[in-house]
Structure 1
Amino acid sequence: MRLNDYRFRDTWFLPAPRRAVFDAVVDVENYPRWWPDVRAVRRIDDDTAELVCRATLPYGLVIRMRRAEQNVSTGRLRVHLEGDLEGSLAASVLRHPAGTTLEITQRVQVRKPLLRKLAPVARPLFLANHAVMMRRGRTGLRARLTA
């Protein structure tokens, strides 16, 4: 794998019904209400939104998400990513005896010039930054679903 290619896999347990989790995850416009690292969302059309994300490190990412799959009966979601990150994100919303499991897989390549340039020395920091962002997302979604 090249320095600017990343693969992430996260599993979130959420003590909420599967349909509530699915509905929250597809409601991208409301991410800033529960995910502190998603600073802004701008809807482009019915299938596309532009997100501005910033976690702990002092840089933001502008990412355009375009829906490729959304199937409530199977719990499968997939989006194409363009902008500062290019690639894909897939998610499965699965029943769990005590709620729902959300499995997220991301395959991306960094396109932002500064981050590409810093990758040889800063890759471990980028990985840690991503982990913090995902942890805060899980915590925020859990709070929103149980409120």
Structure 2
Amino acid sequence: MDARYHFVTTYRLTGKATRVWDVLRDVEGWARWWPGLESVRLIRAPNGREGVGAVHRYVVRAPVGYRFAYETEVTAIEPMRYVDAVARGELAGRGRVAMEPPAGEDVTVWIAWLVETPKRWMRVLSPIARPAFAWNHHRLMNGFGTGLASASGMLLVSTEHAELSPRQPGFWVMPEPAR
């Protein structure tokens, strides 16, 4: 059975959007503030505008204790709007980090992952373990939001998690950033 996942986590923060963007762009610094991210390192420097082409390797420890590693390659960036990347390794697919235009002092950041788990044991267990894998993802992303707020000097107002199942409309379709 195919082990595909479609997650979207939305954070609402209060403060300056430019500070959030600066922290998001400092990928090598994420391990200092994101619990669960054991390490991140630059594998290949960007070869394009604004960081396109950069490849980073991440080692993550999931809340239930298993460790996984993956790489992302930045495929598109529009400053202060979004970063797109492809992932490969023990997590494979596509991701997008997007910032919605600020509404007063509120900044909305969302992260979408359309990924599959190439590890055989994860594919085999996916029909029964999907809720546990989703729970792990949500816990990791809670830590991301708390850490992002702290590192950017912002107040985290809310965190929302959404997951589309393979039978739902829009599954495996990347959400578009707001204009």
Question: Hey, what's the Cα distance between the residues in 1 that align with 2:71 and 2:122?
Answer: 17
Contact 1:85 1:110 in 2 (8 A): yes
TM-score by length of 1: 0.91
1:84-116 deviation line (CA, Å, top 9, x unaligned): 111111121121322311021110011122222
What is residue 92 of structure 2 aligned with on the other side? 86
What is residue 126 of structure 1 aligned with on the other side? 133
Question: Hey, what's the Cα distance between the residues in 2 that align with 1:56 and 1:125?
Answer: 10
Question: Hey, what's the Cα distance between the residues in 1 that align with 2:22 and 2:109?
Answer: 12
Question: Hey, what's the Cα distance between the residues in 2 that align with 1:85 and 1:129?
Answer: 14
Question: Hey, what's the Cα distance between the residues in 2 that align with 1:144 and 1:96?
Answer: 21
Give the C-alpha shift of residue 10 in structure 1.
1.0
Unaligned runs of 5+ residues in structure 2 are 46-53, 155-179
Letter in 2 for 1:115: M
Contact 1:38 1:51 in 2 (8 A): yes
Question: Hey, what's the Cα distance between the residues in 2 that align with 1:23 and 1:80?
Answer: 21
2:170 is the alignment partner of 1:136: no
Structure 1 segments of 4+ aligned residues over 6 angstroms from their partners = none
- Aligned pairs, how many? 145
> Which structure has the bigger radius of gyration?
2
Question: Hey, what's the Cα distance between the residues in 2 that align with 1:16 and 1:78?
Answer: 24
CA RMSD in angstroms comes to 1.5
Letter in 2 for 1:77: V
Letter in 2 for 1:26: R
What is residue 8 of structure 1 aligned with on the other side? 7
1:49-108 deviation line (CA, Å, top 9, x unaligned): 0000112112111010100111115x1110110001111111211213223110211100
Question: Hey, what's the Cα distance between the residues in 1 that align with 2:137 and 2:38?
Answer: 15
Which is richer in helix? 1
Letter in 1 for 2:112: T
What is residue 76 of structure 1 aligned with on the other side? 82
What is residue 123 of structure 2 aligned with on the other side? 116
Give the C-alpha shift of residue 3 in structure 1.
4.9
Question: Hey, what's the Cα distance between the residues in 2 that align with 1:33 and 1:27?
Answer: 11
1:22-54 deviation line (CA, Å, top 9, x unaligned): 121121111111101111012101200000011
Letter in 1 for 2:131: P
TM-score by length of 2: 0.76
